Chain A
Amino acid sequence: MTEIEQTKTLKKDEVEQLCGFRLADGFYGVPVLGVQEVIKAQKVTPIPLAPKCIKGLINLRGQIVTAVSLRILFGIAEEGNLDHMNIIVRSGDSLYALEVDEILDVMDLELKNFEERPDTLREGLKKFIIGAYKLNKKLLIKIDLQKILKLEE
């Protein structure tokens, strides 16, 4: 079952937990159950010839993790020397580190505030997004992990 379907099957009054993070000035969230852990920026070994969004490989306690820059994947300009954080997620046998600007809290979000992705979204970004939660003053965009880990820019 894809994440979109999962979201749909949840009842309106239910609550979903997302791990929130920030990229540039946007707020995003990924289902907390998909997250293995969150770590600081690590030493990265680049993979020559790999797609641009792949920053390289990280050693996470003896396991090889592929680091993916969400900024590049989402088409957001990279900023120099900015310290980033890694959200470690698992897909199949492989571990991935999603590079984000800042980790927010784990948030309990009520499904009644959820809305599917608007069609007006920028094309490059649209396919990675399931929908958004309306918060007090801003939107929290829920991203589609499966699509992201296909790494198609």
Chain B
Amino acid sequence: MPRNQLLDEFLIESLEGLSTIADELSAFEKNNQNFELLNSIFRKVHTLKGSTSFLGFKKLQELTHVTETILDLLRNKKLTLTTSIMDTLLKAFDACLEMLKYIDKNEVESNIDYSLIVSELNKILKPENSIAIAVAPIENEVIFQEIPNLKVAAPVVAPRVVAAVPEVRTEVETQSQIQDSVVRVNVSLLDKIMNVVGELVLSRNQILQHATHSNSPELTALAQQLNVITTELQTDVMTTRMQPVGPILTKFERLVRDLSRDVGKKVRLEIVGKDTELDRTLLEAIKDPLTHIIRNSLDHGLEVPSERLKQGKKEEGLILVKAYHESGQITIEIQDDGRGIDKNKILKKAIDNGIITDAQGSQLNEKQILQFIFAPGFSTAEKVTNISGRGVGMDVVKSNVERIGGSVEVNTKVGVGSIFKLKIPLTLAIVPALVVESGGQKFALPQINIVELVRIDETEISEKIEKIQDQEFFRLRGKIIPIYRLSKSLNMPDEKKIDGVNIVFLSAEKKMYGLIVDNILDTVEIVVKPLARNMKSLPQYAGATIMGDGSVSLILDSLGYYFSVDAGKSNKVESLIDEKQTEDTSSVSLSEYILCKLFDLRLYAVPLNLVHRLEEFNVKDIQWSGGLPIVRYREQAMILVEIEKTLNFAGKGEDLTKKDQESKFQAIIIKSNNVYYGLVIHEIFDIAITDQKVDLKIADRKGFEGSVFINNQTVTVLDVMEIMGLQKFSKNEVRA
């Protein structure tokens, strides 16, 4: 027998009702004058009780009855809502939910004993015994009205009972009109419609293109009509699938409330942008990640009240959840004003856990280090609580968000707080885009990222485009903006010199950059189709689309492209926290050094900003060119600089010629004027950050910049540029 339709309807309705009750209750707790809210809860519980009683779920009925009684008292102001009553009520609703879920699975009531909760609820009623008793008979009456109905009409139960449901509801619900105009639609059907509309949009584009080339006025007219209809259909279907993030975010009120009491913290949850709409599949997908992040912020991020007071913060911690649209994406920020994430702690943990080695760790920048919190099994929590600290979670966050093509970013400052930014793309969406051509290939640029288009005449190119080192810049109304050549950055054939240059200015988060393209072609509506999974490592592309002529074009991801061309240079971060950080650092001017040991086993420091990479080479890979040791590095011949020899250290230097052919050696790679140099060292020791100025007393010696005091030691700072200048060769020789 197919599953009882009546039961199904009951379950859908009850689960829907219950899911909002907890939120409404939390809201009421905050604003306990809003009795409309309480009424709404009461109505829902009442409906639930009514339905359970004639479906014969005794336990559920008992539970809902007591709950309803309490709510009624609250509603009539005979009882004031205290935290303990609130807790009990929430527990009761949880129990209801549990029971309903069991019923959903097994079609019968579970055997689990819920009498504890019922008795707890009854305890609330006890002080007001008289009222409780007064309420009870009314309840019985209701049941009596309905149960006989059921019994008499046993063989034809279904229609009758269905009829009974609206009856009960109209009695108590005053806002039920809206239900008549709402239809439940299966999500998979919606998905299918969306896909078909996507195909339709593509076909429309193709037809439009044919129509514009045809001589038939009828075809043109029809194509136009098709165009209008399709657009309308498309917008409507899109709207059908959009849901505000509000309901999901408000669910966290409850979560925060419960958790904060479990861990003894005072927490205020603020939600901004509840109306931001998101495609429903994406909405589902971000629910778990958001929960994880909020749990983490609450448990790890925020301090206990006493600690907060000590640090001069407000006793009450703040978790701010913000949802908004930004450059074609939906961004959800979870910000807390807690202790922040200590990157050194993370680095240490990563090394302890064997994820990276010491040497690797010393090469990482802050962003890369913070990425470790997304590694599976990674947790810096000193103790495991039942909320978090097991190291499961953040990796799930990342994988869930990435599965829908989004990204997670962390910005943090120790003592100030952390911001987690979830970026959710519009994978399913149909977006307007600008089609450009470069290197003989068409690319689509989402309109939402485009700031403006600029065309420079041939005669003006040299004066408008300035070059600083390798980077080209354009002065746009006084602002200097970096520009990149699309074909060059994508390794495509260089654009032919035409009569001018087209620059598309794009926004990437809060930055702007220019993109030189060969041609600007057209604007079209495109359907974003994700690239195959293993293409995700190319951040330049947001996906692909099918153009009017049926060919495939890549969609450029403004932000991803920017990061790929700007690698490293953009490590200055944008968000508030990091701005503060840079302010801080600029006021004390911190310098970072790589500490290394030369073959005399003393410590030397090399300014980190000069270091390109740290590498290890095999001694047998050294080739000799006229007395100079050379190794192949990145398709170039790289000169190895033996510091000791160059600086004429007293005989302590280890000669590369005499080293064991099977051994390895380490080198600090310096990049200067596009030529690599390898400073041969004995071993990398550490990275040190200091606010001390270089003491110039020993600077008179060749190759020394001075000394700094690090970790209670005086360390000689090498003047790398001078050392390289002392080499007896010219740059050109190396290149040849």
Contacts and interface: CB of A to CB of B under 8 A. Distances in A.
Contacts of A56: 552
Contacts of B541: 47
Contacts of A59: 546, 550-552
Interface stretch (A10-18, A78-86, A90-98): A90-98
A48 interface: yes
Interface in A119-153: 149-151
Contacts of A66: 531-532, 535
Contacts of A57: 531, 544, 552, 554
A46 interface: yes
A45 interface: yes
Nearest to A150: B534
Contacts of B198: 62
B546 A62 contact: yes
Given A46-B441, A94-B533, A62 B538 contact: no
Nearest to B439: A48
B540 A49 contact: yes
Interface in B505-550: 529-535, 538, 540-541, 544, 546, 550
B713 interface: no
Nearest to B442: A45
A62 B547 CA distance: 10
Nearest to A94: B532
Contacts of B492: 48
A46 B535 CA distance: 12
Nearest to A151: B534
A54 interface: yes
A59 B530 CA distance: 13
Interface in A27-85: 43, 45-50, 54, 56-59, 62-64, 66
Given A54-B535, A64-B531, A66-B532, A47 B202 contact: no
Interface in B265-280: none
Contacts of A54: 535
Given A50-B538, A62-B202, A45 B531 contact: no
Contacts of B441: 45-46, 48
B690 to A, nearest CB: 39
Nearest to B492: A48
A59 to B, nearest CB: 5
B517 to A, nearest CB: 13
Interface residues of A, number: 25
Given A62-B199, A62-B546, A47 B553 contact: no
B239 to A, nearest CB: 23
B529 to A, nearest CB: 5
Contacts of A95: 532
Nearest to A63: B529
B490 interface: yes
Contacts of A64: 529, 531-532, 544, 546, 552
B215 interface: no
A121 to B, nearest CB: 24
B529 A48 contact: no
A92 B534 CA distance: 11
A63 B529 CA distance: 8
A100 B35 CA distance: 71
A46 B534 CA distance: 15
A49 B199 contact: no
A43 B551 CA distance: 7
B462 interface: no
B515 to A, nearest CB: 14
Contacts of A43: 551
Given A43-B551, A57-B552, A49 B544 contact: no
A6 to B, nearest CB: 22
Given A57-B544, A62-B199, A64-B531, A45 B553 contact: yes
A45 B530 CA distance: 15
A47 B554 contact: yes
Given A45-B551, A57-B544, A57-B554, A149 B491 contact: no
Contacts of B490: 48-49
A83 B318 CA distance: 64
Nearest to B543: A64
A43 to B, nearest CB: 6
A118 B113 CA distance: 63
Contacts of B202: 62
A99 to B, nearest CB: 15
A144 B205 CA distance: 39
24 contacts: A45-B441, A45-B551, A45-B553, A45-B554, A47-B535, A47-B538, A48-B439, A48-B441, A48-B491, A48-B492, A49-B540, A50-B535, A50-B538, A54-B535, A56-B552, A57-B531, A64-B529, A64-B532, A64-B546, A66-B531, A66-B535, A94-B533, A149-B534, A151-B534
A-B pairs with lowest CB-CB distance, top 10 = A48-B490, A94-B532, A57-B552, A45-B552, A66-B532, A64-B529, A62-B199, A64-B544, A59-B552, A151-B534
Interface of A: 43, 45-50, 54, 56-59, 62-64, 66, 91-96, 149-151
Given A59-B550, A62-B546, A149-B534, 9 more contacts: A45-B552, A45-B554, A49-B491, A57-B531, A59-B546, A59-B551, A62-B198, A62-B202, A64-B531
